[in-house]
Amino acid sequence: MVTLKEWHRLLKTASEYDLDAGGFADPRGGCIAFWVGPYNKPEGYAWEITAEALSYPREYLGEVSPEWRGDEIVAWKVYTINYSQIRDLASPKDRGKAVNVPEHVEWVQKEFSRLHREILGREVDVPFVVWEDES
């Protein structure tokens, strides 16, 4: 289990890996968002990665947020959406093809697990669950 105090440590320390510092994490809004870069992306990620308004070339891919039971985290909710892929789709109705793609979910879980291990000094000990987009 992960406590509220540990979650705050994860958020605070993850800010050291912030986009503005050249990292791939963005802790805010009750989650930790993960961004791909030219040399840190899921296998098969074929979309262009640009800097646009950021200081470094990054594209948002997904996030991890806690699922609480009382004051303990009982699961990590994972959600991914590839906005670059959505821009390439022929129809907005195809949006689901860019949401929670298994390779992208796996990559976000791997990145979060690495951060969790670095910050808390142990492996992830609560399950990941994929958050389904209902829009």
Quote the longest CA-to-CA distance of the chain.
45
pLDDT digits (tens, 9 = 90+) for 34-66: 999 999 999 999 999 999 888 899 999 999 999
CB 14 within 8 A of CB 25: yes
Q: Is 56 exposed, middle or buried (0-12, 13-18, 19+ CB in 10 A)?
A: middle
Q: What's the distance, Cα to Cα, between the start and end of the chain in Å?
A: 31
Q: How far apart are CA 30 and CA 66, in angstroms?
A: 8
Predicted pLDDT of residue 19? 84
pLDDT digits (tens, 9 = 90+) for 58-116: 999 999 999 999 989 999 999 999 999 998 887 878 888 999 999 999 999 999 999 99
**Model-level pTM greater than 0.85?**
yes
CB 60 within 8 A of CB 72: no
Counting DSSP H helices and E strands in the chain, the numbers are 3, 6
Q: Which two tokens stand for residue 107?
A: 């990559």
Predicted pLDDT of residue 64? 97
Predicted pLDDT of residue 104? 97
Phi-psi region of 118 (alpha: psi -120 to 50; beta: other; left: phi over 0): alpha
> Is pLDDT of 1 > 90?
no
DSSP conformation class of 40: B
> Is pLDDT of 21 > 60?
yes
Report the share of the chain in percent with pLDDT over 90.
69
Count Cβ atoms below 10 Å from residue 11 Cβ, excluding itself: 17
Predicted pLDDT of residue 109? 97
Q: How far apart are CA 38 and CA 45, in angstroms?
A: 10
Mean pLDDT confidence for 3-22: 89
> Is pLDDT of 133 > 70?
no
> Is pLDDT of 135 > 60?
no
